[in-house]
Structure 1
Amino acid sequence: MCQVEEEYHEPLERVDRPGVSKKCVKCKEELAAVVIRVGDAYCRSCFRESFIHKFRAMLGKTRVIFPDEKVLLAVSGGPSSCSMLRQVQEGVSQKAHKKLRFVPGIVYIDEGGAVGQCKEIRQKTTSELCEMFRSTGFPFYILPLEQVLDLPGSVVVAPSSLSDQPTSAYKAAVDLFLQSGGGTDVITQEQEGVSLPDVQDSQTQLLQQLMDSAKTLTAKQDLLSTLRQHLLVHTARTKGYSKLMLGDSCTRLAVKLLTSISLGRGAQLAEDTGFSDCRYGDVVAVRPMREYSAKEIAYYNRMFKVPSVVIPSLDTKTPDKASIQRLTESFVTKLQADFPSTVSTIYRTGEKLQTACRSSSAAEDTDRCLLCMCSLDTVVEEASALQATLISEQLSQTKAPLIRGQNSVEPEPSAAVGRCCSAEGPCEGTQVAAGCCSSPKEHEAAELRSLLCYSCQRTVRDMSSVRHLPHYVLSEAHRRHNRSMMREQISEFLLDDDADEND
């Protein structure tokens, strides 16, 4: 142990930190212009080559995107998605050394209606993004989030997946692409969405009512993410794109991983943070920016003048404890400042996590969550942690009688009976048993929650009314419930699969 009177005669050693005056670790010639991590100092040209190589190597080693395949880039205007757009733009150009072989398109979802922005600010943001998208020459689509209210029910029904193809299929597609002459150049198609489409005030009000029905900011952010994903998938299907490219960085995925665990999405981590997300069947979401940290992307955008647009979100200017997402982001970023390996450790750990549940791509529609489209994690045994949690919630919500001394005091008749919301007088006991006007709402919410995973159930519980949800969600819930009741009625006449095989 250290002694108070102990003397230290040896001088303390100074640790040399890498600075801009050091040589580049790759070329060993030029002076370093940027330090990504401790010991990783790059000059300007080597940093650019490393950044580009990492993006193309990620697409090459995964072999998910086939030649001449249409890929829709989801650009939000932030640094990560704009950097992804720049990589694709340079990769499909004629000057590219290893040219990207897919056909890109751009989509932007305007979320100003959910945030509460006025039309002037939304139009200004749209015009800035239009100039950026028009310079690329790619077809682009600018869609307001209000369009999610008019989506068809097929959005939450996943068609058969084609992602489980053998490895030889990719090689055969590349050989066919090369035999045909290497494909054609990217043709500039008609560019849709030059300005923000006309949005009716009634649609904006319905969207705001939906967001206001969520009581907490955590539920609002989770609900907004789900609606955005539904609109992206629907746009990719209707426009003929089979791949959806997202701009999630390594830092964002590390925050998302811890947030998903906090929200009870441990069984869905593979789909939420992995490179490939096959839960939607015919549309596969990929994340090629998952190897880049937010610091690395910021340096690249600043050094090579990649434009981006600052767009406020739901958690803009909110305190750290406003939501679980905001608290997790603050925790990770502050820890990353003192311990630079925090994000990479969380990210690498998330790559090794697997779930024992059936994959979402192989699950049937009845076994999928109605909102996030992942496999249901609520079909478990009775002696499980989930069942124990549900029982505890039911017991905590049960109102116990008040006790005075040794005699229990029953509540007053008026309080016990309740008051109907459509009549001035209290409901009779027979009406409550048969179903008051508030009883169908609770029954409808219970039916909807039975079709959701545990995390989405928590989000719906934080909503004041499920009737504010989009029509396609409620109609699909009603359809699944009717099919379930029909199956129970004819269950005695159905043959089991095991019995059919034995015959």
Structure 2
Amino acid sequence: MACNGGGCESGCYKYTTTTDVDLKSSKSTVDDSSYGGNHPRHQTNTTVCLKCKATEATVFTGGDGGGRFCSDCFRSNLYGKFKLAVTSNAMISPTDKVLVAFSGGPSSRVTLQFISEMQLKAQKNFDATANRDRCLPVFGVGVAFIDESDVHPINSVVLEETVEGIKQIVSSLPLPTKQLHVAPIRSIYSTNTSDGEELLKNLLNTVSDVTGKEDLVAHLCMLSLQKIAIENGYTKLMLGSCTSRIACHVLAATVKGQGYSLAADIQYADARWDVPVVLPLRDCPLQELKILCNLDNLKIVEVFNDFHSGINGLISSFMKTLQEENPARECTIVRTAGKLTPFPFNRIPEANVDDDDLAFQKRQKKFSLKPIESLPPDSFCPICNSPMSHSNNTEPRSDLFGSACCSSCQYQIIPNEMSSIDKFYSFLPESIIARAKKGNQNWIRERIQDCLLLDEDDEV
């Protein structure tokens, strides 16, 4: 709600009638004495909701001079941001099966609530048109929780209570029923549970840099979510990354030297993964999400979201200080970073729908994104999947795997000593090894391209 009248796309500051404009004025030319003291015209501007202009404001955002709303308008405005992001970026099609990454914090809780409401509305529309020939199917929704207790040990009782709380949250959501997937982070390995736990611990022990270890855990969590999505037939992975988290990532990535790949991580959609990732809360600050959770009594059960160290911890503390001085700075950082040229994979491929699905085709055409003219990356880092340009890569390494990684992973995750490097490689999950092999094949082919015989050369 830290937007202004000119930049708000939700319409919360647009006046639709002459009466609304008159209510905005501090002076009235009409005698309102007959309405009584509770009429909106007798309320001061500082206590009236900016959206409906008729109800007393009870929610204040953005600090001094920020937004003020009644509870209903605040909720509808926040939901409007979510829905606009979903529809204008074609995040979901009627045939999709969406997996919501759920950590139990305010961001993922609101994401799950809003996507459930969208699904419920789609279900009602489907039921209302069930007797017609051209009714669209209803997209499916699932929930995934990654257990990081192998990395961040917590009391087993606390973990059990957390999982039970998540089950209650998912079961309380409106129909259609959502399937819940709870998986330990060690499940990224294809081996049994005990071997996976040991491999994970050994892998993290080879990483000496605190920031690198924390980033590696985040990458493994993403791979775990991708694995759940692939194995269960999901077509989209929805994350609860909000404005506040993205703003921290912008600063952290800049410090870590990830400028080339930064544009890839902050867009609404990211199709470089096997299951495309979408960020519907990109325009929603954490402060507003916490307020909504309090207003609607949305249960929070997060246990793994406070483990920040190294550069990530410093940036998180720095952002909190900035927010205290100026609550709008998170939005400013994200808007500024949003001007970076996105990659071709930062849009969802057009959905395949039947010719009879005319309503959906019109909606897709209305919100279709313009073609992106930026050049595709040369390759992707096998560890963090960041796009890379070899022309801007760091100095060559003796090991092919290290040469295929981005500079951030080379300096912060991959060990420097050769004896430790071999151990590091032996503990990597198979999904990372497979991506590294594919990347190395492309990397080698580029360097011997001049020596290869083309098909037309064979015919000479």
2: distance between equivalents of 1:21 and 1:273? 35
**Pairwise CA distance, 1:493:** 4.7
- Number of the residue aligned with 2:409: 456
**Pairwise CA distance, 1:476:** 4.7
- Number of the residue aligned with 1:301: 293
2: distance between equivalents of 1:96 and 1:32? 33
- Number of the residue aligned with 2:86: 59
Equivalent position SS for 2:413:
helix
- Across the aligned residues of Structure 1 and Structure 2, the Cα RMSD in angstroms comes to 3.5
TM-score by length of 2: 0.71
Q: Deviations over 1:245-266 (max 9, x none)?
A: 1100101100011111111211
- Number of the residue aligned with 1:237: 230
Matched, 1:107 2:147: no
Matched, 1:219 2:218: no
Matched, 1:128 2:165: yes
- Say whether the 8 Å CA contact 2:213–2:413 is kept in structure 1: no
Letter of the structure 1 residue corresponding to residue 163 of structure 2: T
- Say whether the 8 Å CA contact 1:275–1:286 is kept in structure 2: yes
Query: Per the alignment, do residues 379 and 118 of structure 1 end up closer, same or farther by CA in structure 2, a change over 3 Å counting?
Result: farther
**Pairwise CA distance, 1:496:** 8.2
Letter of the structure 2 residue corresponding to residue 451 of structure 1: A
1: distance between equivalents of 2:336 and 2:71? 31
2: distance between equivalents of 1:490 and 1:35? 61
**Which contiguous aligned blocks of 4+ residues in structure 1 show a shift greater than 6 angstroms?**
95-100, 360-366, 482-491
**Pairwise CA distance, 1:455:** 1.9
What residue ranges of structure 2 are gaps of 5+ in the alignment?
1-43, 127-136, 348-373
Equivalent position SS for 2:240:
coil
- Number of the residue aligned with 2:4: none
Q: 1:47 aligns with which of 50, 65, 74?
A: 74
Q: Deviations over 1:19-73 (max 9, x none)?
A: 9971111122211111112241101111121122221122122223212311111
Query: Per the alignment, do residues 487 and 263 of structure 1 end up closer, same or farther by CA in structure 2, a change over 3 Å counting?
Result: closer
Larger Rg: 1
Matched, 1:258 2:260: no
Matched, 1:326 2:300: no
Q: 1:347 aligns with which of 303, 312, 334?
A: 334
- Number of the residue aligned with 1:377: 389
Query: Per the alignment, do residues 302 and 95 of structure 1 end up closer, same or farther by CA in structure 2, a change over 3 Å counting?
Result: farther
Letter of the structure 1 residue corresponding to residue 390 of structure 2: T
1: distance between equivalents of 2:345 and 2:74? 38
Q: Deviations over 1:130-185 (max 9, x none)?
A: 2212222311211111111228xxxxxxxxxxxxxxxxxxxxxxxxxxxxxxxxxx
Letter of the structure 2 residue corresponding to residue 456 of structure 1: C
TM-score by length of 1: 0.66
- Match runs of 1:438-457 below 5 Å: 446-457=399-410
Q: 2:108 aligns with which of 77, 81, 89?
A: 81
Equivalent position SS for 2:338:
helix
- Match runs of 1:176-187 below 5 Å: none
Letter of the structure 1 residue corresponding to residue 453 of structure 2: L
2: distance between equivalents of 1:288 and 1:358? 19
- Number of the residue aligned with 2:50: 25
Q: Pick which of 92-101 and 109-118 moved more.
A: 92-101
Equivalent position SS for 1:86:
helix
Q: Pick which of 248-257 and 19-28 moved more.
A: 19-28
Q: 1:495 aligns with which of 450, 454, 458?
A: 454
**Pairwise CA distance, 1:78:** 0.9
- Number of the residue aligned with 1:278: 271
Q: Deviations over 1:56-115 (max 9, x none)?
A: 122122223212311111111111001111112222225999999532111111111111
Q: Deviations over 1:285-311 (max 9, x none)?
A: 110011110110111000110111130
Equivalent position SS for 1:71:
strand
Number of residue pairs aligned between Structure 1 and Structure 2: 371
Equivalent position SS for 2:320:
helix
- Match runs of 1:118-157 below 5 Å: 119-136=156-173, 137-150=177-190
Letter of the structure 1 residue corresponding to residue 207 of structure 2: A
Identity over aligned residues, as a percent? 26
- Say whether the 8 Å CA contact 1:358–1:375 is kept in structure 2: no
- Match runs of 1:387-398 below 5 Å: 390=395
2: distance between equivalents of 1:117 and 1:210? 20
Letter of the structure 2 residue corresponding to residue 455 of structure 1: S
Letter of the structure 1 residue corresponding to residue 295 of structure 2: M
- Match runs of 1:412-491 below 5 Å: 446-462=399-415, 464-465=420-421, 466-467=424-425, 468-474=427-433, 476-478=435-437, 481=440
- Number of the residue aligned with 1:289: 281
**Pairwise CA distance, 1:274:** 0.8
1: distance between equivalents of 2:444 and 2:115? 49
Letter of the structure 1 residue corresponding to residue 154 of structure 2: Q
Letter of the structure 2 residue corresponding to residue 142 of structure 1: V
Query: Per the alignment, do residues 353 and 94 of structure 1 end up closer, same or farther by CA in structure 2, a change over 3 Å counting?
Result: closer
Letter of the structure 2 residue corresponding to residue 373 of structure 1: N
2: distance between equivalents of 1:284 and 1:307? 28
**Pairwise CA distance, 1:350:** 0.9
- Say whether the 8 Å CA contact 1:377–1:454 is kept in structure 2: no
Query: Per the alignment, do residues 323 and 20 of structure 1 end up closer, same or farther by CA in structure 2, a change over 3 Å counting?
Result: farther
Letter of the structure 2 residue corresponding to residue 27 of structure 1: C
2: distance between equivalents of 1:472 and 1:139? 25
